Amino acid sequence: MQIRIEHVSKAFDEYPALDDVSVTIPGGELVALLGPSGSGKTTLLRVIAGIETPERGRIWFGDDDVTDRPIQQRNVGFVFQDYALFEHMTVAENIAFGLTVRKRSHVDVAARVRELLGRVQLEALGTRFPRELSGGQRQRVALARALAPGPTLLLLDEPFGALDARVRSELRSWMRKLHDELHVTSVFVTHDQEEALEVADRIVIMNAGKMEQAGPAGEVFDRPASSFVMDFLGGVNVLRGSVRRGVGVFGTLSLPWDGDATSAATAYVRSHDLILHPSPGPAYRSPTDDTSGLPVVVSHVRRIGVAARVIVTSPDHGELTVELPFHELQRLGVERGAEMIVRVRSARIFTEA
């Protein structure tokens, strides 16, 4: 089921939590609402659910305008960050709750609970109580309970926020597989860029109550629409300079720029798009015949499994981070204090305008 949000605004005590937000969520996709704290992503989720009512704008579920429809009539499953399980009920009773209040038959309820216990891989734990489960298991129960009535839309508010890194990673992979089996239109809130890029089909990036960009996860990462999006997705180095007549100049570094204006500018370069060369460096030609580079000194070298992170210092731009395979680090013989040249494989340049 497709979800359309049209010019939605919502304020709390004159604070604009949402400011004229419009976005379409395609049916059957798993969509992440991504942004920093206070960006409006959770408010948008609650407006979609019917927990909050927008002051302006409309919410459409398919061809139905549900803006004024209460949450009970929207057929939405909601998973909270803190699970919100009933502690006095067993796992099976928690999952069955939504079906029981809808007065489904005992036979149907039992069959649905068995099915969902299997889907969330908790077949042997139906008689346990929430306090007897791990955080990851509790989150699976919360998801099964939300899925039990057969919602047309599944909403999740930072579903992995309370879990440790290893369990988060495992649950992300599991939820992606589960979604591929069920194809229920799903929207989840997160402030974790890696989580959004790994799990979501589509990402909606929020900032200060506005939508900065929405699109397929790969497109948002590869073609950020603004400096905020580029910076928020992380792993970037920031170079200050200017552009003029199709060239960006950032200290001793020159980069091609698709424009003819003259303006102050900022280049954003992901850590894996910086290339290290021993100083003074071998002859180098990029596809644009750009031979410029930044002289740097290696400050720190850290191995991270099969990769390495190198911190270098540039007289023009301060500290920069370079990420490269560990075998490449060994080949170059990079060590602290070494003088090197940094060149750029790819950059995004934004002018002040």
What tens digit of pLDDT does each residue of 48-75 get?
A: 999 999 999 999 999 999 999 999 899 9
Q: Residue 280 has what pLDDT?
A: 65
Query: Which helix (H) or strand (E) element contains residue 210?
Result: strand 210-216
Nearest to 347 by CA among 269, 272, 291: 269
Residues 74 and 9 in one domain: yes
Which residues of the chain fall below pLDDT 70?
Answer: 162, 280-291, 353
User: Which structural domain, as residue segments, surrounds residue 128?
Assistant: 3-231
Nearest to 153 by CA among 73, 82, 83: 73
Token pair recorded at residue 178: 């589960």
Residues 318 and 170 in one domain: no
Sign (positive/negative) of CA torsion 206, 212, 217, 223? negative
Q: Residue 282 has what pLDDT?
A: 47
Residues 43 and 151 in one domain: yes
Q: Tokens 């003029």, residue?
A: 244
Q: Give the predicted TM-score (pTM) of the model.
A: 0.86
Q: Tokens 């190198």, residue?
A: 310
Identify the CATH number of the domain in which residue 151 sits: 3.40.50.300
Label the pairing between strands 3-12 and 15-25: antiparallel
Three-state DSSP at 299 gives strand
Nearest to 322 by CA among 285, 277, 281, 261: 277
Q: Residue 353 has what pLDDT?
A: 65
Q: What is the DSSP string of 86-146?
A: -TTS-HHHHHHHHHHHTT--HHHHHHHHHHHHHHTT-GGGTTS-GGGS-HHHHHHHHHHHH
Q: Residue 290 has what pLDDT?
A: 46
Three-state DSSP at 16 gives strand
Residues 58 and 135 in one domain: yes
Residues 195 and 292 in one domain: no
Q: Residue 288 has what pLDDT?
A: 42
Residues 240 and 170 in one domain: no
The CB-based long-range contact list for 323-326 (8 Å cut-off, 24+ gap) reads 323/235, 323/271, 323/272, 323/274, 324/272, 324/276
Residues 275 and 208 in one domain: no
Residues 179 and 81 in one domain: yes
Q: For residues 17 and 11, is the Cβ–Cβ distance under 8 A?
A: yes
Residues 285 and 250 in one domain: yes
Q: Residue 245 has what pLDDT?
A: 84
Cα 225 to Cα 89, 122, 220, 235: the distances in Å are 48, 42, 8, 16
Residues 178 and 280 in one domain: no
- Total domains in the chain come to 2
Query: Which of 231, 254, 279 lies at the terminal end of a domain, its last residue?
Result: 231
Residues 188 and 215 in one domain: yes
